[in-house]
Amino acid sequence: MLAPSLSTIDLVVILAYLVLVIFIGLRMARRTHSGEDLFLAGRRLGWVPIGFSLFASNISSTTLIGLSGAAYTWGIAVSNYEWMAAFVLVFFAVFFIPYYLNARITTVPEFLERRFDRRSRLYFSALTLFSNVIVDTAGTLFAGAIVLQVFYPDIDLFTACLGLALLAGLYTAAGGLAAVVYTDVLQAVVLLIGSCMVAYLSFGQLDFSWANLVDATPDDSLSLMLPLDDPNLPWLGTLVGVPILGFYFWCTNQFIVQRVLGARSIAHARWGVLFAGFLKLPVLYIMVLPGVMAGVFLPELENGDAVFPALVTTLLPAGLVGLVMAGLLAAIMSSIDSTLNAASALLTMDFLRPERRGWSARRVVWTGRGFIVLFMFLAASISPMVASFPGLFHYLQSALAYLVPPVAVVFMLGLFWRRASATGALATLLGGHLVSALLFVFSLTDLLSLHFTIVAGLLALISSMIFVIASLLSDPPIRDQVRRFTFSTDTMERQPLLARWQDYRIYSLILVTLATVLVIVHW
């Protein structure tokens, strides 16, 4: 199939859009004078930019490229990661956000030091650095390279990845998290509009008939719950593994939680997280189903990860193609800039500890910027290796399935179990990842044939057992740590009272209800 081409007006729109994004980033640089400005936007973020930024950073790395590609290949069950996010975000807003913001932490691993000790903080920080650079940033750069290769097939993967990394890395180094968040707002709006247009026109190719889609598509492709032996996403994996992956991604991953830590208040953090949850619900209809529909009228695509760019160039008129493609590329960069900024924050604040060294605010900023540039080149060098995996989405999720269950257990039991000890936390991280490594080796040698989501659930169970046993056999935690950093109804009641229309609990209930209805309808 011949590569699609962009018209002159498309190229002009793309160039203008990217210039605007860079302008926003550079303008934010004027407000970046300290580590708190670089890494947390000065803790001035409101709920609207937080919600849009959470959504944009997520969709750029998985949804448009990975999810559309997976939907093209095997159906809508891949959107289980999307509706499950609604439940996870409600849980995050209700229980974790007050403790994160009251602790005034800069990085998520810092919370583990407050609750347990420095050993857990450094271990988790190193793990997050690895996943942010090797898994998240490299995977997202690969996604961007796939988009560029749709239009310019002669460009090699490394060149495409390096170009995207340079573009995103430079304005991130200049403007920090504020640049990331406010460019994300623009990107999210453009992508939502563009995705709605693509979904509408894709449905038009089927004469706006759901019956036509059902007749032309295998039954499993339109079902959220697949058989237990399904190789893509069995129903058991959806119930036991997807929530664990979602909890790690939304509640403990530095590159996502960072904008929540930058909220101006607990109320704004909660509203922003719930707003992101509402934005996730339509993803099934505007980003996943078009991938299934494309299987009907674009059956000749060799690479499922190229389906969204193909839909854009096939269905949209000149000008709009440029706008949506610019938004897609910029959104891919929004995930790159998020992970680069997060990785820099982790290395600077968790390992170098500038407050202990007496560094000036200016030195902290320039050290953070230097690490952003370093990680930019490292991720660009690694990203072409993603091509050896069967699909982008498979790469991202299977990698996380072996890495994150012990972390999820440590955070969950650490918040809700008062007897959870520092020794138990470290034993869980070390022992859980030792078991993870063994299971990963078994999966490579065909001794383990479980789906990676089921493996995630199994690892969470084993890690929980390690945590409980190690905690009971070790000294109890320090009383002050338990009092300040474990859940209690008193903490929830101390939050300021708001008007009924501002009550996050009402919006949480609405979000959970809508997500439940969506699952029932498409079960």
Nearest to 55 by CA among 196, 175, 200, 189: 189
Percent of the chain with pLDDT strictly greater than 90: 22
pLDDT at 268: 93
Q: Which amino acid is at 413?
A: L
Report how far apart, in Å, the C-alpha atoms of 149 and of each of 3, 175, 247, 282 are.
9, 29, 33, 28
Q: pTM of the entire structure?
A: 0.84
**What one-character DSSP code corresponds to residue 329?**
H
pLDDT at 29: 67
SS3 track for 254-298: HHHHHHHHCECCHHHHHHHHHHHHHHHCCHHHHHHHHHHHHHHHC
pLDDT at 496: 62
d(CA 274, CA 269): 9
Write down the mean pLDDT value for the chain. Answer: 81
pLDDT digits (tens, 9 = 90+) for 198-209: 889 888 888 888
pLDDT of 88 > 80? The answer is yes
Q: Which residue has the tokens 């200049």?
A: 174
pLDDT of 423 > 80? The answer is yes
Which carries the bigger pLDDT value, residue 334 or residue 50? Answer: 50
DSSP string, 29-48: HTT--SHHHHHHGGG-B-HH
Could you tell me the pLDDT band of residue 269, with boundaries at 50, 70 and 90? very high
φ and ψ at 41, to 5 degrees? 55, 35
Question: Who contacts 170 (Cβ-Cβ below 8 Å, separation ≥6)?
Answer: 22, 25
d(CA 170, CA 176): 10
Q: Which two tokens stand for residue 386?
A: 């993603």
pLDDT at 2: 44
d(CA 377, CA 340): 10
Which carries the bigger pLDDT value, residue 120 or residue 232? Answer: 120
Which carries the bigger pLDDT value, residue 449 or residue 414? Answer: 414
Question: Who contacts 212 (Cβ-Cβ below 8 Å, separation ≥6)?
Answer: 206, 296
Q: Which amino acid is at 274?
A: L
pLDDT of 351 > 70? The answer is yes
Could you tell me the pLDDT band of residue 86, with boundaries at 50, 70 and 90? very high
Domains of the chain (ranges; CATH) run: 8-403+488-521 (1.20.1730.10)
pLDDT digits (tens, 9 = 90+) for 112-140: 999 999 999 999 988 888 777 776 777 77
Helix (H) or strand (E) holding 145: helix 138-151
Look at residue 234 and give its three-state secondary structure: strand
Report how far apart, in Å, the C-alpha atoms of 519 and of each of 161, 226, 236, 248, 281 are.
37, 13, 15, 22, 10
Could you tell me the pLDDT band of residue 1, with boundaries at 50, 70 and 90? very low
Q: For residue 227, how many other CB atoms are within 10 A of its CB?
A: 10
pLDDT digits (tens, 9 = 90+) for 461-499: 999 999 999 999 998 888 888 888 888 876 665 666 666
pLDDT of 175 > 90? The answer is no
> Within 13 Å, how many C-alpha atoms sit on residue 402's CB side?
21
Report how far apart, in Å, the C-alpha atoms of 369 and of each of 178, 269, 356, 384 are.
14, 26, 20, 24
Nearest to 426 by CA among 457, 467, 481, 477: 467
Q: Hey, which of 128-132, 325-329, 378-382, 472-476 has the most confident mean pLDDT?
A: 472-476
pLDDT at 460: 93
pLDDT at 35: 64
d(CA 258, CA 279): 19
Q: Which two tokens stand for residue 497?
A: 């009272």
pLDDT of 15 > 90? The answer is no
Helical residues (DSSP H) of 265-391, grouped into ranges: 266-280, 283, 289-297, 307-315, 320-345, 354-357, 361-382
Nearest to 242 by CA among 520, 519, 472: 519
DSSP string, 443-510: HHTTS----HHHHHHHHHHHHHHHHHHHHHHSPPPPHHHHHHHS--HHHHHTSPP--GGG-HHHHHHH
> Within 13 Å, how many C-alpha atoms sit on residue 410's CB side?
34
Nearest to 339 by CA among 297, 285, 376, 314: 376
pLDDT of 152 > 80? The answer is no
